[in-house]
Structure 1
Amino acid sequence: MVHPYAVAGFLVAVLPLIATPGASLALLVQHVTDGGRRQALPVILGTVTGLYIHATLAVAGLSALVMRSSLAFTAVKLIGAAYLIGLGIWTWRSAAPDAAPAPHRQRLPKGSDSVYAQALLANVLNPKAAAIYLTLVPQFIAPHRPFGGQILTLATAHALLVALWLAAWTFLILRASHALHTPRFQQAAAKATSAVLITLGIRSAVT
């Protein structure tokens, strides 16, 4: 079991990383703008599932292997970057004014399963999320206690904080519901989301 002070310290340390706009927030804005509050849940669940996957890999030592191998780390980083850029391009194309009536154009999937998968992959394929569990988490666990339970506790606290953060953003987005359903706003939100995703992908690939 992790000491409550350690959990609190971890949350304080990870809060600036959560507050930094990323792929999860970009996807949340896009899908809540398009589909309403129901689309927030799969984004939150996908992001939280990704955190637990990183925590599990950290316990198993697989993430450490990726971080120690420059080739493996680069491969994961480039795959994640390609996914974000591709998702950004797809979102941009779906924002085109003539995208809806054109039957030959593909649109960004809006089903709950596909939204969940997008958020999950955006988190899992982010090596910086894995780095949290390899560099930050060890600072808050006791070496004489089993790692698994401690990492799971910190991951759960992390997941709850992320869920609350995204839920708060969902509330703020829905407060502007009078503007959400206008075509101009939806196109602007989709293009802003795509720009964020592409920028994150490029940054991930070159850093």
Structure 2
Amino acid sequence: MVHPYAVAGFLVAVLPLVATPGASLALLIRHVIDSGRRQALPVILGTVTGLYIHATLAIAGLSALVMESSLAFSAVKLIGAVYLIGLGIWTWRSAAPNAAPSPYRPRLPKGADSVYAQALLANVLNPKAAAVYLTLVPQFVAPRQSFGGQILALATAHALLITLWLAVWSFLALRASHTLHRPRFKRAAAKATSAVLITLGIRSAVA
């Protein structure tokens, strides 16, 4: 079992990363504004699932292989960047006033348009999230104890921190629900979200 001081130190170290606006927060605000508080849960669950996937890959050593191979790492970065940019473009186009289903309206592949899938893929395809478990987590594990158990414990602490952070933002969005549900504001929020996603994708591609 990981030492409580190690968990506390890890949370302090990872807090700036959690607090930095990213795809999960952008998706949360977008979907809460668009469809209400129920959409916060799938965003949180998708993000948390992504964290556990990264933790599992780190335990198995698969993430280390990707990080050590410049070609594999570049491929992951490119896939993640393309996904974020594509999601951003789709969000922008879907925010058009009086948008209605038509053969010309952009759609995500079947299954990929679920809120949970969007949050999951945004996290899994983020190589920086994998880097947390390959560079930061090892600083807080004891070599003489269960390596896998300690990583899962830190991942759980990480997941709880992100859940709390996103829940707070969901609450703030709901407090302003009267303003947020105005059609003009919803369109502006959707376009702002798409701009964030596209910016994150471009930054990931060129970093």
**Bin of the TM-score, shorter chain as denominator length:** over 0.9
Q: Which residue of 2 aligns with 1:32?
A: 32
**Aligned equivalents of 1:106, 1:205: Cα separation in 2:** 23
TM-score (norm 2): 0.96
| Amino acid across the alignment from 1:156 | T
Which range is displaced more, 142-151 or 118-127? 142-151
Question: Corresponding residue for 2:102?
Answer: 103
Aligned-partner Cα distance in 1 for 2:58–2:48: 15
Report the counterpart of residue 57 of structure 1 in structure 2.
57
Give the superposed CA RMSD. 1.6
Structure 2: any 5+ residue segments left out of the alignment?
none
Residues 122-173 of structure 1 show CA distances to partners (whole Å, capped at 9, x for unaligned) of: 0000000000000000000001112100000000000000000000000000
8 Å Cα contact 2:112-2:118 kept in structure 1: no
Q: Matches of residues 191-206 of structure 1 in structure 2 within 5 Å?
A: 191-206=191-206
Per-residue deviation, residues 10-67 of structure 1 (Å, max 9, x unmatched): 0000000000000000000100000100000000000000000000000000000000
Residue in structure 2 matched with residue 156 of structure 1 by the alignment: 156
Match of 1:86 in 2: 86
- Deviating runs (4+, > 3 A) in structure 1? 106-109
Give 1:1-207 correspondences, 5 Å limit.
1-100=1-100, 103-104=102-103, 105-106=105-106, 114-207=114-207
1:99, distance to aligned residue in structure 2 (A): 1.6
Secondary structure of 2:114's partner? helix
Percent identity between the two aligned chains = 85
How many residues are paired up?
A: 205
Assess if the C-alpha contact under 8 Å between 1:94 and 1:108 holds in 2.
Answer: no
Quick one: distance in 1 between partners of 2:83 and 2:10? 29
